[in-house]
């Protein structure tokens, strides 16, 4: 754990050099103004506000959105509004007076006007920056975020996030102090402080407007296109075997649960909608063999397990096997009962399925993966687990052995599960601001609006992606009416793909789309051209 905390701290320090941080730097630099007469109070306010905000929202934003119904985009807008307000206060003295009065009402615990423009003002700026901060996260913080989206926040996750924010805050603090010292020591700057203040005010307002309109994302793309090696490898030191093992340990799945005896299977938490069955409990299923399958319908890895689950259901349902699919959604639109019902119909899933929108059953099993299978014996004990794809023959042998324990006859049937071969060497890519990572293989042209979960290209926008795989999948939905995308591979319109008709993909529902299915694997350039502004892009996966 100490190793993870140390690496999280170092990852935070180097993040300040990443291209996706550059659009935030004007706000940090602007904090040098207004603090030169208050020493270190304003810089301290900025970094403390940032540390508190970034740590809190990283860990609890998903929970806040779920409980309050307020979207993350609304909270982001509030932060942009605060940044713009501070810019106006630097530009217009009368507005600064109004801002001080607001502070006196909302922050009466701050003793003086000087502190309201010093520490207090810095605190509010830092708090806003913490919510706007979209770091180029590596494996460590990405694992913490994956815990947070399920509502699972551990003390270890808190320490790691805090260490990351502390690491980021140190260079931020030094930048602000450096700016203050420069203002004090250069006579010309000192003599023109009022004009510099107005200049920084304009800069903050422009930055706020740019972030609101997602210009920051376009700026990041420009930097990566012009300087493809910039920022490359900043988080590579996290990507080693030792760190990966520590991350698995943090997730609670560093060992197969079957290796620690026969733990009692947690009960399915009631409250979710059931499909293909009335509500079931493990207590009433004692005497049978039960598979608990955690899945979500846009997950390609989950989809590739469906043929095996359907086959096991047909072969063993009359011999005492029960399969219960627990649908734990990765994206907000996957919580829709109608969407889940349509997915069950499309994938021809005949066994009982329950919605787990609040991740209650997921947390009860301390689960971390899609897909994940827990095989439970007749007494209600977990006897075998498997996370991800594969191990189909081994899983079916376990099913047969546990059915024999129930007294079932003729269960030693032939096992001949086909294996799906993946050629993907490109990792999953998220396009929303909350989970986006530094990726020099992707670039954006035209106007884009980037929300917390998805990216929304406007009419005429383009996306370029270099990938190494045979298949390309993209989770998408539309904004109310069908949306169209042109698909090119190596600058030629590409027709291969289940959802690709003559080089055109029509987004008519909220699901995973198969864009490309090439004759052979290799390294290719994918280009998507958007004919309208209705597409919402969530995540790429590859096969």
Which ranges constitute the DSSP H helices of 280-371?
300-303, 306-316, 337-346, 360-364
Query: Which pTM was predicted?
Result: 0.64
Q: What percent of the chain has a predicted confidence (pLDDT) above 70?
A: 77
DSSP assignment of 239-302 equals -SHHHHHHHHHHHT-SS-GGGG--PBPPPPPTTSPEESSS---TTTTTTSEEEEEEE-TT-HHH
Residue 457 pLDDT exceeds 70:
yes
Cα end-to-end distance, the chain, whole Å: 33
- Please, what is the Cα angle at 479 between 57 and 340, to 5 degrees? 75
Residue 378 pLDDT exceeds 50:
yes
The domains of the chain, with CATH numbers, are 2-15+23-212 (no CATH), 261-405 (3.40.30.10), 429-542 (2.60.120.260)
Q: Which two tokens stand for residue 274?
A: 């059931």
pLDDT in tens, 139-197: 556 566 666 666 666 777 788 788 888 888 888 888 888 877 777 777 777 677 778 77
Identify the helix (H) or strand (E) that includes residue 526.
strand 511-530
Residue 326: its pLDDT value, please? 98
Q: How far apart are CA 438 and CA 494, in angstroms?
A: 27
Mean pLDDT of the chain: 81
Q: Which two tokens stand for residue 303?
A: 């989809």
Judged by average pLDDT, the poorest of 64-68, 239-243, 265-269 is: 239-243
CA nearest to 354, candidates 362, 31, 427, 505: 362
Judged by average pLDDT, the poorest of 26-40, 269-283, 376-390 is: 26-40
Identify the helix (H) or strand (E) that includes residue 140.
helix 139-149
Residue 109: its pLDDT value, please? 45
Q: How far is CA 501 from CA 197, 329, 497, in A?
A: 56, 28, 8
Residue 42: its pLDDT value, please? 76
Please tell me the total number of residues recorded for the chain in this structure: 543
Residue 203: its pLDDT value, please? 81
Residue 255 pLDDT exceeds 50:
no
Q: How far apart are CA 212 and CA 74, in angstroms?
A: 11
Q: How far apart are CA 457 and CA 176, in angstroms?
A: 35
pLDDT in tens, 81-112: 877 887 787 778 677 666 656 555 544 444 44
3-state secondary structure of 317: helix
Strands 321-327 and 289-295: parallel
Residue 245: its pLDDT value, please? 60
Which residue did the predictor score with more confidence, 223 or 479?
Answer: 479
Q: How far apart are CA 444 and CA 464, in angstroms?
A: 6
Which residue did the predictor score with more confidence, 292 or 428?
Answer: 292
Q: How far apart are CA 513 and CA 506, in angstroms?
A: 9
Q: Which two tokens stand for residue 200?
A: 């920084």
Q: How far apart are CA 509 and CA 131, in angstroms?
A: 31
The answer to whether the beta carbons of residues 526 and 488 sit under 8 Å apart is: yes
How large is the average pLDDT for residues 283-302? 95
How large is the average pLDDT for residues 489-506? 89
Residue 374 has, within 13 A of its CA and on its CB side, a CA count of: 29
Residue 343: its pLDDT value, please? 94
How large is the average pLDDT for residues 445-474? 93
Residue 538: its pLDDT value, please? 96
Which residue did the predictor score with more confidence, 43 or 532?
Answer: 532
């Amino acid at each position: 754990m100490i190793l993870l905390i140390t690496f999280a701290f170092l990852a935070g320090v180097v993040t300040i050099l990443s291209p996706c941080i550059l659009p935030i730097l004007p706000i940090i630099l602007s904090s040098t103004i207004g603090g030169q007469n208050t020493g270190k109070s304003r810089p301290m306010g900025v970094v403390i506000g940032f540390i508190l905000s970034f740590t809190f929202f990283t860990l609890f934003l998903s929970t806040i959105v779920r409980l309050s119904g307020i979207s993350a985009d609304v909270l982001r807008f509030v932060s942009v509004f605060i940044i713009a307000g501070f810019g106006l206060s630097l530009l217009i003295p009368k507005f600064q007076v109004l801002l001080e009065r607001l502070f006196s009402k909302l922050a009466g615990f701050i003793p003086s006007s000087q502190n309201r423009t010093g520490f207090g003002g810095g605190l509010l700026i830092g708090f806003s920056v913490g919510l706007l901060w979209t770091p180029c996260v590596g494996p460590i913080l990405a694992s913490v975020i994956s815990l947070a989206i399920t509502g699972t926040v551990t003390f270890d996750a808190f320490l790691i996030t805090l260490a990351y924010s502390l690491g980021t805050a140190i260079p931020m603090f030094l930048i602000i102090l450096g700016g203050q010292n420069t203002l004090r020591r250069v006579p010309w700057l000192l003599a023109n402080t009022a004009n510099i203040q107005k200049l920084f005010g304009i800069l903050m307002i422009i930055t706020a407007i740019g972030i609101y309109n997602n210009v920051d994302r376009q700026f990041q793309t420009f930097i990566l296109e012009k300087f493809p090696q910039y920022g490359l490898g900043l988080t590579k030191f996290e990507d080693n075997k030792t760190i990966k093992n520590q991350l698995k340990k943090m997730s609670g799945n560093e060992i197969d649960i079957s290796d620690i005896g026969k733990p009692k299977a947690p009960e399915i938490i009631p409250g979710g909608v059931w499909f293909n069955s009335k509500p079931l409990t493990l207590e009433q299923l004692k005497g049978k063999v039960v598979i608990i399958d955690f899945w979500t319908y846009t997950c390609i890895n989950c989809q590739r397990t469906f043929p095996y689950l359907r086959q096991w259901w047909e072969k063993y349902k009359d011999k005492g096997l029960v399969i219960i699919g627990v649908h734990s959604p990765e994206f907000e639109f996957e919580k829709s009962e109608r969407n889940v019902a349509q997915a069950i119909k499309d994938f021809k899933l005949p066994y009982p399925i329950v919605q787990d929108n609040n991740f209650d059953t997921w947390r009860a099993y301390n689960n971390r993966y899609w897909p994940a299978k827990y095989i439970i014996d007749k007494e209600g004990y977990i006897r075998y687990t498997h996370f991800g794809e594969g191990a189909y023959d081994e899983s079916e042998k376990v099913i047969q052995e546990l059915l024999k324990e129930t007294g079932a006859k003729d269960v030693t049937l032939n096992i001949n599960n086909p294996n799906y071969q993946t050629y993907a060497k490109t990792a999953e890519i998220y396009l929303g601001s909350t989970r986006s990572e530094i990726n020099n293989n992707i670039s954006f042209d035209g106007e884009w609006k980037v929300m917390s979960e998805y990216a929304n290209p406007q009419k005429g926008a383009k996306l370029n992606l270099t990938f190494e795989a045979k298949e390309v999948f993209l989770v998408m939905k539309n904004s109310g009416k069908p949306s169209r995308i042109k698909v090119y591979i190596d600058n030629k319109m590409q027709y291969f793909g289940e959802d690709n008709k003559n080089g055109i993909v029509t987004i008519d529902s909220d699901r995973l789309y198969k864009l490309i299915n090439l004759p052979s694997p290799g390294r290719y350039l994918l280009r998507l051209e958007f004919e309208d502004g209705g597409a919402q892009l969530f995540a790429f996966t590859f096969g």
